Amino acid sequence: MADPDLVYLDHNATTPVCPEAWEAMLPFLRENWANPSSGYRFARPARQAVQTAREQVAALLGAAPEEIVFTSGGTESSNAAIRSAVALHPDRRHLVTCATEHDATLRPCEELAAQGYEVTFLPVDGEGRIDLAAYEAALRPGQTALVSLMWANNETGVIHPIAAAAAMAHARGILFHTDAVQAAGKVPLDLSETRVHCASLSGHKFHAPKGVGVLYVKSGARFHPSQLGGGQEGGRRSGTLNVPGIAAMGAAAEAARSHLAIDHGALARHRDQFEAELIRRIPGVHLHAARAPRLPGTSNFRLDGVDAQGAILLLDTQRICVSGGSACATGSIKPSHVLTSMGLGSRPARETLRVSLARTTTAEELDSALNALQTAAAKLRTTRA
């Protein structure tokens, strides 16, 4: 049951399962629990559900159904794309990525660097944007195995110029992967119009359950699988399919697509109102990446002199969920690599909060968060003084 008192404003971390996804998955937990690879009639509904979901996800991405490979989520998809490119080009020892990528991309790239690969981690400016000319200069035809550049950043919402970057890589015979985990379902994507070879998606970021995702592999593009076994997904990702999760993700993709078609601008309007009100009510607010192209529902900002962890705890006592610009890694508070790459010092990063909305977010929820932030800022500033 949904908790009516909860004000959840951390949708870039995960989202609640939407009613469409919930309804779509139940039959495959209750009655139609067959393995979709089995040959008997009992397995047909499961097989059909996987095919329907493939078509629904493809429609969200402007892709063909056969370009959709079901995986366990964004981390697996990005790891698989990177490992595939490296395996396909054993003679190419260079990769290009960006300093603000998610760990699902950074960690495998760092591991390759430790194995002797050269990895260019593109810097970003103060708004979180890459410089396309610097990107182009980093591409090395015949040497670069892969570019991996995220479509949209999970902390700031900054959108990279993926179509242009993919075209530049393609013109030089270089494979291109994009982590589209935060973009899918939030902004229109048309992969058929881009030169992207692989793209990662994660169901739980667009109202499907956790533990299910997609790797898009462009038709005709070569792919080397990481996971070997029963040969499911055309040999591109072995393992018995998570039918309930996949059916749910298909329904969630369809719901996201129809929502995008109806009111693409609503989320941005909500976010902009929230930010305007934040600045009006609280002194010392700095919006991050507000001049860059951004996801419509993400707001990343700093409250001068307010410890973000303290604010998160105070909001939590009122059942309001937001997140910060630093993460607790092995017991110590580490400033986010995204913010430090944008030139923020560790103190401003520790004063940074992220509020992320969904299509279900209401004006009342945002108002409660604004009230709570106003009180928390005043209280934490007094404590410090």
Give catalytic residue positions. Answer: 328
Q: What is the b/e burial string over 58-90, where b = at least 16 CB atoms within 10 angstroms of the residue's CB?
A: bebbebeeebbbbbbbbbbbbbbbbbbbbeebe
**74-113 footprint of ligand PLP as x/- string (CB under 6 A):** xx--------------------------x-x---------
Minimum CB distance to ligand PLP smaller for 248 or for 377: 248
The bridge status of strand 352-356 relative to strand 298-303 is antiparallel
Minimum CB distance to ligand PLP smaller for 73 or for 335: 73
Minimum CB distance to ligand PLP smaller for 13 or for 268: 13
For the bound state, the minimum distance from the C-beta of residue 116 to ligand PLP, rounded and expressed in Å, comes to 26
- Are 80 and 217 spatial neighbours (Cβ–Cβ below 8 Å)? no
Restricting to residues 197-236, which ones interact with ligand PLP according to CB under 6 A?
A: 202, 213
CB within 8 A of 39, min separation 6: which ones? none
How many other CB atoms sit within 10 Å of the CB of residue 280? 9
Minimum CB distance to ligand PLP smaller for 36 or for 157: 157
For the bound state, the minimum distance from the C-beta of residue 298 to ligand PLP, rounded and expressed in Å, comes to 11
Stretch that binds ligand PLP, among 179-187, 215-223, 276-284, 333-341 (CB under 6 A): 179-187
| DSSP for 96-134, written as a single string | EEETT--HHHHHHHHHHHHTT-EEEEE---TTS---HHH
For the bound state, the minimum distance from the C-beta of residue 145 to ligand PLP, rounded and expressed in Å, comes to 20
How many other CB atoms sit within 10 Å of the CB of residue 3? 9
- In the 8-state DSSP scheme, what is residue 185? T
Minimum CB distance to ligand PLP smaller for 104 or for 282: 104
Minimum CB distance to ligand PLP smaller for 71 or for 368: 71
- Is residue 298 a contact point for ligand PLP (CB under 6 A)? no
CA 43 centroid distance within chain: 33
Stretch that binds ligand PLP, among 17-25, 72-80, 218-226, 347-355 (CB under 6 A): 72-80
Which of helix, strand or coil describes residue 95?
A: strand
Structure tokens given for 262: 């109806």
Structure tokens given for 106: 């950074």
- In the 8-state DSSP scheme, what is residue 271? H
Stretch that binds ligand PLP, among 68-76, 140-148, 276-284, 339-347 (CB under 6 A): 68-76
Restricting to residues 146-175, which ones interact with ligand PLP according to CB under 6 A?
A: 150, 154
- The contact set with ligand PLP (CB under 6 A) reads 73-75, 102, 104, 150, 154, 179, 181-182, 202, 213
